[in-house]
Structure 1
Amino acid sequence: MAGQALQRGKPRLASVNSAQVQTKPETEDEIDLVALLRTLWRGKWLIMLCAVAAMTAGVYYATQVAVPKYSASTSVALQVQAPQMVDLDSVMSGVSTDDASMNTEVEVIRSRGLLEKLVAELDLLQDPEFNIELRPDDGLSLGSLLAPVLGREETVLPAAETQKAALIDTVDRLRETLGASVQRDTFILNISATTEDPRKSARVANTLAELYIEDQIAVKFEGTENAVTWLSERVTALEEELRQKEDQIARLRSESELVSPEALEGLNRQAKDVRDRLSELEDQAARDVARLQELRAAFEASDFGTLGRLANDGTLRQLVTRLEDGESGAGELVERRAETVIARAESDLERTRSQVTALETSLGRLQSQIEAQGEELAQLQQLEREAQATQTLYETFLARLKETTVQRGMHQADARVLSIATPGEKVEPRTARIGALALVLGLMAGAGIVLLREATHSGFRTSEDLEGQTGETVLGQIPKMPIRKRGQLIPYLNDKPTSAAAEAIRNLRTSVLLSKIDAAPQVILSTSSVPGEGKTTTAISLAHNLAGLGKSVLLIEGDIRRRTLNEYFEKGAKAGLLSVLTDKVAIEEAVIRQENYPVDVLMGEKSTVNAADLFSSEAFKTFVERMRTRYDYIVIDTPPVLVVPDTRIIAALADAIIYTVRWDHTPRAQVSEGLKQFRTVGAEVTGLALSQIDPKGMKRYGYGGRHGAYASYGQGYYDA
């Protein structure tokens, strides 16, 4: 029944494994957190060892290797928009309140110019902490090691360039040790220095604060001097410009007639009067012309009455009356008087015209004079305005110059030292922090090693894993026996018949005998993938256990290439397998039997014949069939299947094949390839034996509580 169960279990196992393989791609991206934690727990001692080692190294570095650093800090309070003793905002003002200005002051403190002054003040070029050229050469620098390889020669720089390069490097290293920051919601700057000497740190911080304040005063003084120089130049230039404009005004007044707005206004009034008089005279001239034309018309018409009336001449009217009265000689008198009247009218017209011409000439002269004096007045007014503007600028700059001159020597810094630095406190290395960080890194490294070891591990630790990977039944799980030499195996089996290993061999025996439904296997083959997996130990132990049933057992050494059985037994054989196959000796003479090992042992024998050819011979087949009639069970210890083909040849004559897999050692690929080798020749492996199991290792990997003899509940059933 048990055999039927085992036989029925194999295909079911194969189907389960096939199902696992089919569903694997669907879950391959998932992470089994429980398995991950289990793996970490199994490697807890390694993780703890790595953590302790890393923490020890970190503490050693912090206390013995690392150079201690000490930090000191001084506080500087800024006076925001401080009032000047003289109102001179345009020349120098206080620090602004915006963040940009505060951050600018921080950069000023860390500026190269100020740090160069600090280097000179404290003579830091002679300090090896900042000037690495003064440090002793340990001869292990990267440049010195690569120089011979690269074939480079050291370049010798001139003294001035060397000094300049040393200053640049010193300032760079000094800047790395300095810190400047603004206290939140205040106008206070904190200046810190971190060096290898607590007093040096305080000295550097205090000196830098003093240099910063002195630099502020120097900047203001320089600004004042520049302002004085510039204002002096501007005042001198404005004074000369003002003098030139005043000379131009005086020269224009002296070269021109009386030029003033009032005089120009008088000329304009005079010109208006002339224009009015001219207009009257022109009207008068027009009237005189019309009157003269009327008089001439009346004269030509001999209408002396009308002529007298038009001329309003009383004498002519009297002569006309006398002419009308018929006085003799009156006509001639009338004509002469009429001519006289016309001549007088013509004379009046000429006089009026002369006056018009004279007034026109006078008006033209006045117009020219008005235009000339208007231009000169405009030019004079322009010069006066420019002179006035220059005068205003001159007075303003002169006043600024006097104020700036008074400001000399009265400058105050926009900052003051609020608290000086005291000898610094140790800030590096922080032993506790380094130790804690090293501990965390050690834990991470240990966990990484454990996970890497688990990821790269390819052996089998449980029968379930072995069955799931191969699809074959695990017939037995054999613990590692507490022996150091191969010769101690048989005494151990005799002395510890109830040990865990002995019971495991009995379980293996039972599984093998029940593996066939019709009849128990008689020829049992023991093999493995590669040497050193315990197949020979399994074969010897199984033969010993079968003999314990009162059966006759023959153990054949099929691994005739290595021949290791003589290391397990006290007395050697006089003849071996080859001698029996060639009928040189009888089987009774070739086998050996020890008192403490109730099994006939037929050892291998050195031969020039190829082992594979030997086992393929009809002689070997006939020998195995003959031994079936003489012994109840025949156990054959064969070579590893991946090394030589002998095992696959012998497998054709075997009833059962036990494939031994070393616990936590044999790679999965080798086991799969070994089983594949059997399938290629049509040989069916009866089952697997997981050998050399380490109980402590099982517990370490977290499997000790679930696997029979290696569980805590099984300790009472077995001898140690």
Structure 2
Amino acid sequence: MQAPMRTMPKLTPAPAMPQAEEGDEIDLLELAGSLWRGKWVILATTFLALTIGAWYAYGVAVPKYAATSSLALQLRKEAVVDLESVVSGVSTETSSINTELEVIRSRGLLEKLVTQLDLTRDPEFNGALRPPSAVARLKGLLRGGDDPAPAPADAPPAPDDAITPEESEMIRTVGAVRRAISATNQRNTYIFNIGATTTDPLKSARIANALAALYIQDQIDVKFQATENAVSWLSERVVELEAELQQKQDLVKERRSSMDVSTVEALEALNQQQRAMGERLAEARLASAREEARLNTLQDLARNGSRAELVAGLDDPALTRLAARLAEGEAGAEDLFADRLALLTQEAENAAARQTQQTAALQASYDRLQTRFDTQSSAVIELQNLERDLNATRTLYETFLTRLKETSVQRGLQQADSRVLSAATPGHYVEPRKSRIMALAMLLGALLGSLIVLARQFLHQGYRTAETLAADTGLAVLGQIPKMPIRRRDQLIDYLNDKPTSPAIEAIRNLRTSVLLSNIDTPPQILLSASSLPGEGKTTQAISLAHNLAGLNKRVLLVEGDIRLRTLWQYFDIPDSRHGLIAAMTGEHDLSDLLLRDSRMDVDILLGEKTSANAADVFSSDRFRNFLEELRHHYDFIVIDTPPVLIVPDARIMSQFADAVVFSVAWDRTAKSQVTEAIRQFHSVNSRVTGLVLSQIDPKGMRRYGYGGKYGAYSSYGAKYYNT
């Protein structure tokens, strides 16, 4: 079997995977096409929604009747006395009107309504009196029939020790009545509408009129109570202010009697006296400074100056004459000059001392006068504050006393701020609005169906059409193979033989033609069948392709390249062999002894073989390459079934020696990311995927998704060409 090695065809670089452009716009035609293909789903959900809507509108919903009572807000009313009311009426501001609307639906007012009409005995508002619904009975049966019925939906939490059963019943009833009551304001008017919606038209009118009457009475009661509270409060406050006024009057008298200066005028006179004393003190300080300067000058001249400077500086006539006599040399003149100088010095010292004493006396008088002024000023200010506080208290007392008299006059004169404009008449039918429910149900059903169709179309990760597969991968789709109707693997060969004109077999023939014509100049001889993951139809494709190639009267060899799992023998009527591909590669056994034949198919079969060596290392060896080159001289076509690409690297390694790689993608199952990654792995070893096969197509599914009328074997006009 030795033969010259055949030169492998040069592999061209694999095309780059197309990248989706950023910012792709929504294809409205594709969107409309998806909705049209899912029209039956949309119609089904629309019909289901209409059925549910009709069941609710005509069979479940309880008819309701609404009655309305109108109240007019009184903007003006005649005053009985010409005095400002202690309790003002309702303001016409929007916030005040909205407040009144909430007062109408307040719990306190509704409790009075429930008590007046005895609504706790009405099953419509007291859910505990209603018989259990069908759903509640069903739940009771599911729980065993002995469990108590669940509390109604509007029931409050289970009462504790602080809430009696009667209070709990009242809370539950008030909540139900509140949901049946509405209060609105007519736009740009001062008219309130009180509405009640119940299952009885007369009951609705009765509740609306009763609530309007209670609201008007509540306004009167609130005003009367406010007046009583105001009188009580004003009375207490007047008594307190009277006592406080008397206390402050006594305090003012006491302070005035204890003060020397009690008026501002007297305080001003004291201030004038203080300023005069300050002026005298300033003059005395100036005179004292002059005497001190004269004394210092005399003493300085006596110590350091000459006789002429001393005479000129002192300017004393006697001293001047003695200086002249001394200059003439008169005897005894020097002693007289010294005595006169000492006398002048003593006089200057005495004058400075007297002036200092006078200044000190004036300073003491000024300090006493200033202290007295400060004391009297603080006392006058305090007295003024007390008098202002007294006047304020007197004014407040007189105001409260006047308001007390006015409020006492208002007793019993309160009027409501609203009046009944029109009483409620028996209610009119308001719900359920059957036509609206049906229209809304139809709209929601169509919307839900559209969402289901779009989600199934755009969120699904698998491939349903060859166009999408080719567009995403940039590779040609060589074939579309339907799912074959077999239950076990060993039924595949019988189906291939018994149904030669079935859509699946015709699809295999189309695949065979596409593969053989993929390279016209050098038709492929070694064909590799690959897929991303197990169960995507690559083994079925390899066997079917080998079967079809053998129908061309060609020598065909089917090789099991998946030596790890080894499942190929399960498809044939042959025993599992202990030796196979590995033994043939190593030459341990002759190839003719290892080849197997199924009587139903004219194809040589070489099964895989377990080995202790790593499978990737085995297929990477030169021995495997040489083995394939030998097989080329003995067979027209060699079909190799490989392991999944994303699980082990065997298929990528074997693709280096193959002439064509046929990649299977399971219809509506294999994710786009898996297909992209598997093709990328082939590209990473510079192997080119010849083409893709969309396998295991469900014809009913194609028609269900709206593609049946577009793709050959799955269209209505293609059925006449096939024999299933």
Tell me the TM-score normalized by structure 1: 0.60
Mark the CA change 1:418 to 1:497 in structure 2 (over 3 Å): closer, same or farther.
same
Alpha-carbon distance, 1:643 to partner: 1.2
Alpha-carbon distance, 1:691 to partner: 1.7
Preserved contact between residue 209 and residue 423 of structure 2 (Cα < 8 Å): no
Tell me, in whole angstroms, the C-alpha distance in 2 between the residues paired with 1:638 and 1:194.
Answer: 75
The structure whose residues are more often helix, as a share, is: 1
State the match for 1:513 in structure 2.
Answer: 516
| 1:357-506 equivalences in 2 (<5 Å) | 415=419, 418=422, 420-422=424-426, 424=427, 427-506=430-509
Alpha-carbon distance, 1:551 to partner: 0.9
SS state at 1:157 partner: coil
Relative to structure 2, which stretch is displaced further, 35-44 or 201-210? 201-210
The gaps in structure 2 that reach 5 residues or longer are: 1-8, 133-147, 236-404
Mark the CA change 1:436 to 1:570 in structure 2 (over 3 Å): closer, same or farther.
farther
State the match for 1:122 in structure 2.
Answer: 117
Tell me, in whole angstroms, the C-alpha distance in 2 between the residues paired with 1:635 and 1:554.
Answer: 6
State the match for 1:633 in structure 2.
Answer: 637
Mark the CA change 1:220 to 1:650 in structure 2 (over 3 Å): closer, same or farther.
closer
Task: Tell me if 1:24 matches 2:24.
Answer: no
Preserved contact between residue 66 and residue 429 of structure 2 (Cα < 8 Å): no
Tell me, in whole angstroms, the C-alpha distance in 2 between the residues paired with 1:457 and 1:226.
Answer: 74
Tell me, in whole angstroms, the C-alpha distance in 2 between the residues paired with 1:684 and 1:79.
Answer: 88
State the match for 1:614 in structure 2.
Answer: 618
Please, what is the CA RMSD of the aligned residues? 4.9
Relative to structure 2, which stretch is displaced further, 475-484 or 56-65? 56-65
Task: Tell me if 1:73 matches 2:76.
Answer: no
State the match for 1:157 in structure 2.
Answer: 162
SS state at 2:478 partner: strand
State the match for 1:717 in structure 2.
Answer: 721
Task: Tell me if 1:660 matches 2:664.
Answer: yes
* Structure showing greater Rg: 1
Mark the CA change 1:532 to 1:72 in structure 2 (over 3 Å): closer, same or farther.
same
Give deviations 1:473-503, integer Å, cap 9, x for gaps: 3222223333333233222222232333222
Alpha-carbon distance, 1:37 to partner: 1.5
SS state at 2:204 partner: helix
State the match for 1:544 in structure 2.
Answer: 547
Mark the CA change 1:121 to 1:652 in structure 2 (over 3 Å): closer, same or farther.
same
Mark the CA change 1:635 to 1:64 in structure 2 (over 3 Å): closer, same or farther.
same
SS state at 1:630 partner: coil
Tell me, in whole angstroms, the C-alpha distance in 2 between the residues paired with 1:415 and 1:633.
Answer: 103
Tell me, in whole angstroms, the C-alpha distance in 2 between the residues paired with 1:512 and 1:219.
Answer: 96
Preserved contact between residue 575 and residue 590 of structure 1 (Cα < 8 Å): no
Task: Tell me if 1:671 matches 2:699.
Answer: no
Alpha-carbon distance, 1:510 to partner: 2.1
Mark the CA change 1:165 to 1:634 in structure 2 (over 3 Å): closer, same or farther.
closer
Task: Tell me if 1:686 matches 2:690.
Answer: yes
SS state at 2:448 partner: helix
SS state at 1:567 partner: helix
Give deviations 1:72-108, integer Å, cap 9, x for gaps: 4154575978999x9999999xx99989798887666
Relative to structure 2, which stretch is displaced further, 136-145 or 516-525? 136-145
SS state at 2:679 partner: helix
State the match for 2:566 in structure 1.
Answer: 563
Give deviations 1:546-567, integer Å, cap 9, x for gaps: 1111111111111122222223
Tell me, in whole angstroms, the C-alpha distance in 2 between the residues paired with 1:156 and 1:412.
Answer: 40
Mark the CA change 1:217 to 1:42 in structure 2 (over 3 Å): closer, same or farther.
same
Tell me, in whole angstroms, the C-alpha distance in 2 between the residues paired with 1:608 and 1:450.
Answer: 51
Alpha-carbon distance, 1:707 to partner: 3.5
Task: Tell me if 1:531 matches 2:534.
Answer: yes
Mark the CA change 1:408 to 1:142 in structure 2 (over 3 Å): closer, same or farther.
closer
SS state at 1:477 partner: strand
Amino acid at match of 1:673: E
Give deviations 1:558-599, integer Å, cap 9, x for gaps: 112222222322232555414444555443333332333111
Mark the CA change 1:502 to 1:114 in structure 2 (over 3 Å): closer, same or farther.
closer
Tell me, in whole angstroms, the C-alpha distance in 1 between the residues paired with 2:498 and 2:594.
Answer: 28
Tell me, in whole angstroms, the C-alpha distance in 2 between the residues paired with 1:644 and 1:87.
Answer: 103
| 1:2-151 equivalences in 2 (<5 Å) | 14=15, 21=19, 24-25=21-22, 27-28=23-24, 30-60=25-55, 68=62, 70-76=64-70, 109-110=104-105, 114-125=109-120, 130=125
Relative to structure 2, which stretch is displaced further, 430-439 or 476-485? 430-439
Tell me, in whole angstroms, the C-alpha distance in 2 between the residues paired with 1:651 and 1:76.
Answer: 89
The gaps in structure 1 that reach 5 residues or longer are: 1-6, 148-152, 234-396
Alpha-carbon distance, 1:680 to partner: 2.6
